[in-house]
Structure 1
Amino acid sequence: MLGSQIELPVGDGVLSGLDFGGEGTTGVLLVHGSGHNAAVWTDVASRLVDRCHLVAVDLRGHGHSAPVSSTPEQYWRDLADVVAALEWDRPVLVGHSTGGYAVTAATAAGLVDAAALCVVDGMVLDDRDTAALAQAPWQGPEAAERLREMFRYGWRAGEQQMHAYVEQCVREAGTDWLNAGARPELVREVIRRTFLRRADGLWERRPTIEEIATVSAPDPHAVIYPSVDVYAHVRCPITFLLPDRGFYAQRRDEVQAVVDAAPGRELIEIAANHNVPMTQPADLATVIGELVRRHP
């Protein structure tokens, strides 16, 4: 099942997304991680349409969303405009990886009145000084070159080149560290959606290196910052989903400390790699479905 294309106005343009429809009164906003797009949620949404209304958004600089970031906060501040455009009251917000921080930050800043959050391998666990040191390398040329080599971010290709690359990714998915276990057609849909046609007729692989550099340089003096203190500003329930082969698997005790710091929080551990929405959609759908049941 592939959702219907939807346009969502934000302050300086329009974001693209997929409206998967669904029954029930609860709205569920699905927010992807860096390098992904709305299509990653297809297999998760297909398991939930009998109990809630699901929409996935392409963050700025990703997928089919034309606007790019000029500040490091725009991509998560956009979520307030997205929820307003959908006319949703107290939605459930689900974010994977960078999207996990996005839904956390939008809620912590008071921009979205969320009924509950589901953060999928997208925690922020360092204090501000440590987080700033971790972010710094993303501004350098070495990181940029590594991202180009690994993912071809910012690559501009002709149509045949683009299609050939998509099919290469599908063929290699079974042994790829990120996509192993994902349905091949889903890999095709997601990779294809990472390309946006430019005015010159070429297809650009998104996000660009510039987009990543912008969102990786938050203001250290900002109230809402990608560090562990952000959770003190979140009042709604949070479910943290921790895959045993994910980015934060070795920091379980730190995640548990965040859970124990406030009521209404829970930690759920699953057997999966980082790319939970694509490789373990049934398990993730079960977790989201339970949140919808508890927060209709």
Structure 2
Amino acid sequence: MSAPSTPIDLMVESGPVPIAVRDFGGTGLPLILVHGAGGNLLAWTTTAERLTPHHRVVALDLRCHGRSGDGPWSWADALTDIAAVADHFGFDNPAVAGHSLGGSIATWWGREHPNCPGIVNFDGHRGAETHPDNYVGMDPAQLAADLARLSELFTGQAHAMGQPLAPEQVEAMRNQHRAQAAGLVLTEEQAVEIFDRNLTVRDGQTFLRPGPEFVSALRASLLEDDLFPVLHEVRCPILVCLATRDLPAAQAFGDLMAAFRRGLDRDFARLRAANPAVRVVEVNASHAMTLEQPEDLTDRLVEFLAGRG
């Protein structure tokens, strides 16, 4: 499929699940962009526009997000969706880049496609709620208490995702996203557009996507399938960009997140020593790095993938 001169939206069938795609055009090595949990393809707009001089760029809404259809969640399902998008555009061997959950999905893609020209993972590793052994240097009693608090928080969030939103709740959430835009390379209007894309209306009531079924399934898979064994098995070139600052929302779990980061440092050090295909760089940003520093991260991506097509 030829590249458009302006972005085009379309739907791609992945089995029974329609996947929403934005074709940003561009020339060069095909590149598929995968957003994180709770996001959608609009989060890539600034990055994609900077990438089109170097790459043929396509972004998708993950299933259960944005304008894509609902369906069961598993890593295999996510890879099937990416493969459907690649096949639709005739991309024989695309590079894949992702943020957060999208970065983890890109890593799984890299493991399954050892000849992939390159994977770029923006701070996708393990979930904040993980096995106790992955938190380093924390008092066991405090660790157990903090993990119980975190589990309760996530359970409440999953329940809330299934509840209809009153108009005043929707507007309050929009205002929250407008306020958050101040710390990101986003206008207030763009922040609201990203939020609104994950709203859906059923039987006259407004809900936020993804729904509780997806959230619960994802939570279970993150607990069951640690990404580090996958990273050790990747044979294609992969760049992992690690955040070094916590999100403001994580401040209530400061000690837990510090122990979590020490666990990441330990396991990435082991990974570097064991797998030469993996390049790990630290970025002076939070987990929202792709919206905080899109120019820097785009430059890193372009440099890493240069000459790999």
> TM bucket by the smaller chain?
0.7 to 0.9
CA distance in 2, matches of 1:249, 1:19: 36
Structure 2 matches for 1:101-116, cutoff 5 A?
Answer: 101-110=104-113, 113-116=115-118
Structure 2 matches for 1:233-252, cutoff 5 A?
Answer: 233-246=233-246, 249-250=261-262, 251-252=264-265
Percent of residue pairs bearing the same amino acid type: 25
Q: The residue matched to 2:306 in structure 1 has which SS?
A: helix
8 Å CA contact 1:44, 1:285 repeated in 2: yes
Q: Residue 191 of structure 2 corresponds to which residue in structure 1?
A: 187
Please report how far the alpha carbon of residue 65 of structure 1 lies from its aligned counterpart in structure 2 after TM superposition.
0.8
Structure 2 matches for 1:42-121, cutoff 5 A?
Answer: 42-69=45-72, 71=74, 73-110=76-113, 113-121=115-123
| Structure 1: gaps of 5 or more residues | none
So what's the TM-score if we normalise by structure 2? Answer: 0.78
Alignment length, in residue pairs? 279
Residue 258 of structure 1 is aligned with which of 271, 274, 278? 271
Runs in 1 of length 4+ with deviation above 3 angstroms? 70-73, 124-131, 136-142, 160-163, 218-221, 246-250
Distance 1:20 1:43, change over 3 A: same
Please report how far the alpha carbon of residue 123 of structure 1 lies from its aligned counterpart in structure 2 after TM superposition.
1.8
Q: The residue matched to 1:8 in structure 2 has which SS?
A: strand
Q: Residue 306 of structure 2 corresponds to which residue in structure 1?
A: 293
Please report how far the alpha carbon of residue 219 of structure 1 lies from its aligned counterpart in structure 2 after TM superposition.
10
Query: Considering only aligned residues, what root-mean-square deviation do their CA atoms show, in Å?
Result: 3.3
Distance 1:249 1:238, change over 3 A: same
Distance 1:36 1:88, change over 3 A: same
8 Å CA contact 1:240, 1:266 repeated in 2: yes
Q: Does 1:164 align with 2:164?
A: no
Distance 1:264 1:40, change over 3 A: same
Q: Residue 203 of structure 1 corresponds to which residue in structure 2?
A: 206
CA distance in 2, matches of 1:94, 1:226: 19
Distance 1:157 1:129, change over 3 A: closer
CA distance in 2, matches of 1:86, 1:166: 36
Residue type of the alignment partner of 2:162: G
Residue type of the alignment partner of 1:197: V
Residue type of the alignment partner of 1:238: I
Residue 5 of structure 1 is aligned with which of 4, 9, 18? 9
Distance 1:6 1:46, change over 3 A: same
Q: Residue 250 of structure 2 corresponds to which residue in structure 1?
A: none
Distance 1:34 1:47, change over 3 A: same
Distance 1:3 1:173, change over 3 A: farther
8 Å CA contact 1:243, 1:274 repeated in 2: yes
CA distance in 2, matches of 1:142, 1:98: 19
So what's the TM-score if we normalise by structure 1? Answer: 0.81
Please report how far the alpha carbon of residue 122 of structure 1 lies from its aligned counterpart in structure 2 after TM superposition.
0.5
Of residues 281-290 and 247-256 in structure 1, the stretch that sits farther from structure 2 once superposed is 247-256
Is the radius of gyration larger for structure 1 or structure 2?
A: 2
| Structure 2: gaps of 5 or more residues | 1-5, 135-143, 247-256
CA distance in 2, matches of 1:113, 1:11: 25
Distance 1:167 1:231, change over 3 A: closer
Distance 1:6 1:292, change over 3 A: farther
CA distance in 2, matches of 1:80, 1:138: 38
Cα deviation, 1:153-190, whole Å, max 9, x if unaligned, reads 334336x5576245312332157xxxx32412331221
Q: The residue matched to 2:51 in structure 1 has which SS?
A: coil
Q: Residue 139 of structure 2 corresponds to which residue in structure 1?
A: none
CA distance in 2, matches of 1:117, 1:48: 15
Cα deviation, 1:111-147, whole Å, max 9, x if unaligned, reads x85211111110249998958xx9x989976522145
Distance 1:196 1:229, change over 3 A: same
Q: Residue 253 of structure 2 corresponds to which residue in structure 1?
A: none
Residue type of the alignment partner of 1:239: L
